[in-house]
Structure 1
């Protein structure tokens, strides 16, 4: 079941959107969505450095989200989405386990496993490694500050990859640098923490535990929203919100809605790179085709 909350076509002070502008999406993903914690999708469009939030949509099951991803699109519509789930596993992990080193084959193998098997396999991998380097990392984890995609608890990003990627592939989404899909549907790996930390540092702005949804975290969300609205990030984009939208994002102590909006801004940045002629939507040309890369994360250093 999906719930949609839409907004007026123009926000206060924003410009009218050109009909040909890409339809932008930011997705805060859950590997086990429910009524209490749904998958949240922020939708919007951008023009001249302004990113307008046009709606929030909620999905309480993976199948409902998958059906929405696969919906028919008009011939002239182009979707660009940033999804907060990993698109690949660390090369070191895959090599050590003897899994296929080609992305498609590796993901197909991974999808065939149960969560219990994934947990046990990854736990055994960690147990055989020295303290301080238990988990294997992707090259993007350092620049992005992201959790390893093999991590199965706090947060369970390994399960997010396992649960979410099959739906994107089944709906024929195009994953630049990894998988050729339908050119109307472009999926990029997003990470809201990357943009949030640029503004807040390590200050927390959210918690799934209502007891920990404190005034200090609400203040952090307010500061983050102000910075996004004023364009005070290296993305050079200004978020356009109605007063009602801003109040909704501020009041959500879980941060799920705000995280979806942060991903929306990452998708908007990617759309500007594509409009400038970049077929990889701003991803580095040197990305590892097995691991993938988080959009807007600084590129890896060039080989010497």
Structure 2
């Protein structure tokens, strides 16, 4: 099975592209072939239309918190509110969130989805620091337009399947809360390179790979070096998403690792640790 892992960005370009790990899952061996750079949304849209079958994990929120939708009076089915978003431009969406937060008390300005709470992830309403709200706005409508099967929000019969990844869940298992990446040059310190080295080594441990339904990860030496040397962490995050996508595929007879009671309006992050909830 063809497996992809994508590190997403809300403004792709040559300096900060969308990064895609291209892999094959051969029985229980995850073979990583290359890391692709996707420099525009047009190229991303073409990527989503690559012939299937394949499974891809993308590291942006596929949905918004139910509480936000209810309070805004927006449709409470995923396809309907994503269709509404498709009629907005970026400024309209961001201003909607800004105005909404202005009238909220402290501690209740950024809602989280159920899966964010369990995963320790940022609110999809965040527009600064980690701008996952911008990533959601740019990503989710494009998934719908591409006709892929979006789990669990909008499953279809398409053999191009996308799930939501979150690399931090794997990173925490391997190195705890140590920092391993930064887009800011003055924060790209040797300790972070050491952390990336430790993550790559951890990915090769049987204990971790077995948790994700694979016996081993086959990673060519040049890609090992590319993951360690990439101070932004984009190559590594794409690889971690690919591992989550591979695990989801191994769980295809069990809802792709998504609990049956998950909130399809909000979406769900795929990772074995979240099965305990």
What is the match of residue 134 of structure 2? 159
Conserved? CA contact 1:139–1:300, under 8 Å: no
What is the CA–CA distance in structure 2 between the aligned matches of 1:55 and 1:125, rounded to whole Å? 42
Equivalent positions of 1:218-257 (< 5 A) are: 218-233=193-208, 234-237=211-214, 238-257=216-235
Question: TM-score scaled by structure 1?
Answer: 0.86
Corresponding residue for 1:16? none
* Equivalent residue in structure 1 for 2:238, among 260, 271, 276: 260
Q: Which residue of 2 aligns with 1:12?
A: none
Distance 1:216 1:51 in 2: 28
Q: Provide the residue aligned with 1:39 in structure 2.
A: 18
> 1:123 and 2:101 equivalent?
no
Q: Is the 8 A contact 2:31 2:217 kept in 1?
A: yes
Q: CA deviation at 1:164?
A: 1.4
Tell me what 1:107 maps to.
82
CA drift of 1:175 comes to 1.1
Runs of 4+ in 1 over 3 A off after TM superposition: none
For 2:232 and 2:93, the matched residues in 1 are separated by 27
Structure 2 residue aligned with 1:58: 37
Q: 1:182 deviation in Å?
A: 4.3
**Once the 2 structures are TM-superposed, how far is the Cα of residue 263 of structure 1 from its aligned partner?**
0.2
Choose from 255, 268, 274 the match for 1:298. Answer: 274
Alignment deviations for residues 3-36 of structure 1 (CA, whole Å, 9 cap, x no partner): xxxxxxxxxxxxxxxxxxx100000011100111
Radius of gyration: which is bigger? 1
Q: CA deviation at 1:79?
A: 0.3
Aligned CA RMSD, in angstroms, stands at 1.5
Q: Is the 8 A contact 2:56 2:161 kept in 1?
A: yes
Q: Normalized per residue, which structure has more helix? A: 2
Matched, 1:186 2:186: no
Normalising by structure 2, we get a TM-score of 0.94
What is the total number of aligned residue pairs between the two structures?
A: 273
> Are 2:21 and 2:239, in contact at CA under 8 Å, matched by a contact in 1?
yes
> 2:164, 2:268 within 8 Å by CA — same for their partners in 1?
yes
- Kept in 2, the 8 Å contact 1:27–1:81? The answer is yes
After TM superposition, give the deviation of residue 135 of structure 1 in Å. Answer: 0.7
Question: Gaps (5+ residues) in structure 1?
Answer: 1-21
* Residues in 1 aligned to 2:182 and 2:206: alpha-carbon distance in whole angstroms: 25
Partner of 2:60: 85
Deviations 1:193-238 (A, max 9, x none): 1111121111110000122111100000011110111134332543
- 5+ residue gaps in structure 2? none
**121-130 or 280-289, larger mean C-alpha shift:** 121-130
State whether residues 284 and 300 of structure 1, in contact with CA within 8 Å, keep that contact through their aligned partners in structure 2: no
Q: Distance in 2 between matches of 1:101 and 1:119?
A: 19
Which moves more between the two structures, 223-232 or 184-193?
Answer: 223-232
Q: What pairs with 1:62-73 in structure 2 (closer than 5 Å)?
A: 62-71=41-50, 73=51
